Structure 1
Amino acid sequence: MAESTTPTPLPRSIGAPATRALALAGITTLDDVRGVDLDELLRLHGVGPKAILVLRETLAATD
């Protein structure tokens, strides 16, 4: 039987505006973030340097 994995949600510490902006861009899980250039996400209204830092740290910790 294949192992099913539950998608890892975005860290709550990125804040509500960043979470909404990412969701509007189709990014709702940490796995979605892995396929995107984080510097490009800074262009989204609501995603700031703090959110990017948290995402980078979270990705590094889960690799």
Structure 2
Amino acid sequence: MADSGFPRGVGAPATRALNAAGYTELLQLDGVAAAELQKLHGMGPKALSRLQEALEELGLSLS
């Protein structure tokens, strides 16, 4: 994982959007609705997919 607390492949715009929404670590996204994350400015399908994959590797997921 990158120093941002999110996995590689999640770009700077998506990382900034997550941070602005109060998410600073991947584990905080467990159970968060994917539809809510999609609404964040800067969150694209690639970043959303990578976040879901990283959560699944930990046995977690978006809702």
Shorter-chain TM-score range: 0.7 to 0.9
Between structures 1 and 2, the one with greater helix share: 1
Unmatched 5+ stretches in structure 1: 1-8
Equivalent of residue 33 in structure 1, options 25, 29, 41: 29
Number of aligned positions between the proteins: 55
Identity over the aligned pairs, expressed in percent? Answer: 51
Rg bigger for which structure?
1
TM-score with structure 2 setting the length: 0.80
- For 2:37 and 2:53, the matched residues in 1 are separated by 15
- For 2:56 and 2:31, the matched residues in 1 are separated by 14
Structure 2 matches for 1:1-63, cutoff 5 A? 9-63=5-59
Two-structure CA RMSD over aligned residues (Å): 1.0
Q: Which residue of 2 aligns with 1:3?
A: none
Unmatched 5+ stretches in structure 2: none
Q: Which amino acid aligns with 2:51?
A: L
TM-score with structure 1 setting the length: 0.80
Following superposition, which runs of at least 4 residues in structure 1 exceed 4 angstroms of deviation?
Answer: none
